[in-house]
Each structure stands twice: as structure tokens, then as C-alpha cells.
Amino acid sequence: MHSSQVTAEPSTNGTAEPYPRVFDVIIAGCGPTGAMLAAELRLHDVRVLVLEKETEPASFVRIVGLHIRSIELLAMRGLLERIHGRGRQRPAAGFFAAINKPAPQGLDSAHAYLLGIPQPVIDQVLEEHAVALGAQVRRGCAVVGFDQDDEGVTVVLADGERLRSRYFVGCDGARSTVRKLLGVAFPGEPARNDTLMGELEVGVPQEEIAAKVAEIGGASRAFSIGPFGGAVYRVVVPAAGVSHDRAEPPTIEDFKQQLRAITGTDFGVHSPRWLSRFGDATRLVEQYRVGRVLLAGDAAHIHPPIGGQGLNLGVQDAVNLGWKLAGQVRGWAPDTVLDTYQAERHPVAADVLDNTRAQTALLADEPGAQAVRRLLTELMDFEVVNQYLIEKITAVGIRYDFGEGPDLLGRRLRDIDLERGRLYDQLHQGRGLVLDRTGRLTAGGWSDRVDLIADPVAAVDVPALLLRPDGYIAWVGEDQRDLDDQLSRWFGEPGH
């Protein structure tokens, strides 16, 4: 185990507690969701331990796509410059069911693009960020049990060690041990079809590949091969006929076999960067929280990777949850704030599951599915339709239900110009923000949790607004009493 051992803190009567009680939050899983959550908690001085069952980070290099909202969140925390030069930027287009349409012109973001980046890079950046903020990460620690009571959670590791925390969060992936131990319902559809996906080098000229793809046309929507930079191509083929168990990684021979069956050639594929096999299982937990145990990322929802939404959805879960759980731990957040994690993120995940179901149907070879695909392809020539679907996939179209109010209420705010620079540069510490163009408002007794920027030239068409730490607009107006009501709603009593 790669960290110092945890020792029990003395209790008030001078005796050691029966279990170590050092941590406010223990997180299972140090993928992007777990690492991002740990960092968000540390911004509020919450004592965090991350347990990762793997002894070393994944060695394979898989390219993942960061969508617009995830890129915005990284910019909000000052992380974008650390990854931008290590990724490949491309237009925000062709996401929905791989229908090839240009990027919409009206995307309301300063980061209206996709960033393709090796997953080990994003894993490393987020883990280093969390550790730099003071999170502890212990590798080689598999969770095998836990027990919660009114005061906290006792977490049991495979070697018998028992750890204690006030809250426990499962960010341990699609096969989540925490979810299974928690016993929450996980309804949805089991996998019916498997697909192989990988990034491999090819041994034939690009022109030969393009000609073969054009010859096959739309005969199989489950097959694709396209350039991913240099001689590397991303290959997608159906797994039907490949006998390996789903839990076993596929081989390059499996890809060659399937390519020959579909195209008559294997394109001389070799030197894979990574190979994977995935099913189309689609499930969503009914409860994101049971007492002091919560779920986030793939532990709470699984779906096919079409549209590339999985990693993004998990990182966004973490940023939604982090400040709310921190407020609960630190004692300033009303109980209702932590309840909004389920209320806000469950419908978002349900929408992602529905759009992946729709995309999967549009990739089927049946005549009816292809007729619908042709119709949708025509409809996407209308800019408003194309933009709506891209905003859905990239999570910039989300609007949380904060009650009646202006259209901006419940939406995220783009990175706008301020007198002192850019908005997102003011959000690195994960605090709330009052942006006041009137010069009359104050954060008052909430100034330990909420910043105030008085800026008459801020590039936003409202008198003032309250921005939550996750970048969503919680209030729009100009009346101090109304603002105070919303500060109390989201940030508790003044002068905490």
C-alpha cells in the first residue's frame, strides 16, 4: 500500500477510538470521477482518502474525448492548460449516432470543441491535482465491505484493515463493489450485443482504406475504421463470432478476423495502442445516496460508449457532488443541498441513457432503423436540430430545476469577459460567486463561502447573478433580500 498507515485519533477522554477516525470522506476508485471528487472536496479543506484497488495506473493508452462541459469545468479549476497541449482538438461534430454533420455555429461556449486525449493523461492530471490539494491516495486497496451508522461509515479492506469516515463514496466503475454491497436497485437492460473497439496502426495506404469503406457503404453500421492521427486508426467491429468471454480483453487476431469477415481484408492492422470489448448494457441506479454512502460516475450508471459521454458524465457528477458534500461535512450547507445531488444528476443520467439507446437504434442494420436514420440526417441539416443534439451530447444544454425564473436560471454560465480577466479564472477555489453589475449588492455574512465581483461591464445581460461552485446560475436579479434568500438556500446561514 503506497501511503502511510492511518492511526487512530485520541478521543476527548484520552483513549483511542476503536477505528481510525481521520477522514471526513473515503472514496473508492481513483479514476477521473474519484480523483475529481477528491480534489473538489479538498478545495473546502475536507479530509479525503481515495482507495484504489489497482496497484498501478492503467498502462494502455486509450484516447478519450473531453466534451465541452468537461473542458469548461477543467478551465474553472485552472487545469485546462495542463492538458490542452497533450490532446488533439477537433470540431464538436459527428457525435450523435456518428451522423456526419458540421459543428453548429451557435454553441454558447468559449470551448466549443472536442479534446481527444490519452486517458492516462487525464487520470494522471486529476490524481496529481487531488494529491497537490492534500488528498491521500492509497493503491492496492480493495474494498470488500462497509457498515454505516448514524455517525459514519466503517470501510473494510481485503487485508482486513478497517477505516472510518463520515461519508463513503463509490466511484469504482461499472462493476462497482460499493454499489453491489449497498444493494440499491440497478434497473435497465442487460447487454445484448458486444462490440470490439481499438486503436491500431495499419499496413496499407489511406486511399485503399477509404476506397474499401466507400465500397461497403452503409452495409454495416457496427463497423467503422477511421484515422486517428499518423498511421493510427480507430477500428470498431461487431464482436459476434469472437468467442472470448466479455471479461477477457480481445486480441489483435480477433480484430483481423472480424475485419476480414466484413471487408475481405484486415488492412494489415498491427501495433495496437489499446483494444477493448464492450456491451450495450444500459442501467441506472434508483438511488445515488443511501444514508452516508453515495455513488458517482459509472458506479451509478452504465451505457454503451456511443457519443463518448461516460467519462464526461462521471467528472460532471463529481463537480456537482463535491461542494455539496463538503458543505455537509463542514457544517454550513442545509441538508436539502446534498439532496439535490440525486435530484439533479439522476435525470441527467437518465437522459444520457435515453440518447445512447436512440443512437444505438440508429446504428442498427434493419430497414426501419435505417429509414429513421435517413430522416434524422435530413433534419440535422436544420441548424437548430443539429445544435440541440450536440448540446445534449456535450452537456451544455442542461438546465436544472431551480424553480420559476429567467431562462438563465439553472443553466451553466459560459466563460465571459470581466474587468479583471476571464470569469473561469475567478472560480479556481470552488467557491460560490456573486457577479454584480449594479454595484449595490454584497455577499455579506456568506463571504467565507462566496466571493463578490462588482463589475459593471461584465459580459452578461442581467443586473446580477449568483453562481454555484459548479458553475450553474442559482439566482438572477438585483434585490439584496432576494439574493440573501438564495445564499441561505445554497450556502446555509450567514456568518457560519
Say whether pLDDT at 66 is over 90: yes
Handedness of CA 125, 131, 136, 138 (dihedral sign): positive
CA distance 465 to 435: 5
- Report the DSSP beta bridge partners of residue 362: none
Q: What is the pLDDT of residues 79-131, one digit of tens each?
A: 999 999 899 899 999 889 888 899 999 899 999 999 999 889 999 999 999 99
CA distance 308 to 94: 11
The answer regarding whether domain 417-491 maps to CATH 3.40.190.10 reads: no
pLDDT of 11 reads: 34
Query: How much is the average pLDDT of 10-39?
Result: 75
- Residue 427 grid cell: 472560480
- Residue 168 grid cell: 463513503
Say whether pLDDT at 182 is over 90: yes
* 80/220: higher pLDDT: 80
Four-way CATH pick for 1-192+280-398: 3.50.50.60, 3.30.1330.20, 3.40.50.620, 3.80.10.10 = 3.50.50.60
Q: What percent of the chain clears pLDDT 90, i.e. is strictly above it?
A: 75
What is 194-279's CATH topology?
Alpha-Beta Plaits (3.30.70)
Sorted by where each begins, the domain ranges of the chain are 1-192+280-398, 194-279, 417-491
Query: How much is the average pLDDT of 176-191?
Result: 96
Characterize 74-86 residue by residue with b for buried, 16 or more Cβ atoms within 10 angstroms of its Cβ, and e for exposed: bbbbebbebbbee
Q: What is the pLDDT of residues 139-164, one digit of tens each?
A: 999 999 999 999 999 999 999 999 99
pLDDT of 341 reads: 98
CA distance 383 to 310: 26
- CA-to-CA dists, residue 331 to 119, 335, 458, angstroms: 36, 10, 33
pLDDT of 14 reads: 40
Say whether pLDDT at 12 is over 50: no
SS (H, E, C) 69-138: HHHHHHHHCCCHHHHHCCCEEEECCCCHHHCCCCCCCCCCCCCCEEEEEEHHHHHHHHHHHHHHCCCEEE
- Residue 32 grid cell: 477521473
Closest by alpha carbon to 235, among 221, 223, 251, 253?
223
- State how far Cα 88 lies from the chain centre: 19
Mean pLDDT of the chain: 91
Q: What is the pLDDT of residues 279-306, one digit of tens each?
A: 889 999 999 999 999 999 999 999 998 8
Characterize 224-250 residue by residue with b for buried, 16 or more Cβ atoms within 10 angstroms of its Cβ, and e for exposed: ebeebeeebbbbbbbbeebeeeeeeeb
pLDDT of 218 reads: 56
- CA-to-CA dists, residue 406 to 401, 402, 413, angstroms: 12, 10, 13
Q: What is the pLDDT of residues 244-263, one digit of tens each?
A: 666 678 999 999 999 999 89
pLDDT of 230 reads: 74
* DSSP annotation string for 353-394: HHHHHHHHHHT--SHHHHHHHHHHHHHTTSHHHHHHHHHHHH
* 57/178: higher pLDDT: 178
CB atoms near residue 66 (< 10 Å) = 28
Q: Please count the CA atoms within 13 angstroms of the CA of 176 that sit on its side-chain side.
A: 35
The widest CA-to-CA distance across the chain, in whole angstroms, is: 80
CA distance 26 to 135: 10
- Report the DSSP beta bridge partners of residue 433: 451, 467
- pLDDT-based confidence at residue 496 (cuts at 50, 70, 90): low
Say whether pLDDT at 72 is over 80: yes
Q: What are phi and psi of 317, to 5 degrees?
A: -55, -45
pLDDT of 289 reads: 98
Among the ranges given (41-45, 61-65, 84-88, 430-434), the one the predictor scored with the smallest mean pLDDT = 61-65
- pLDDT-based confidence at residue 59 (cuts at 50, 70, 90): low
Residues 6+ apart with CB under 8 A from 32: 119, 122, 123, 126, 297, 311, 314, 315, 318
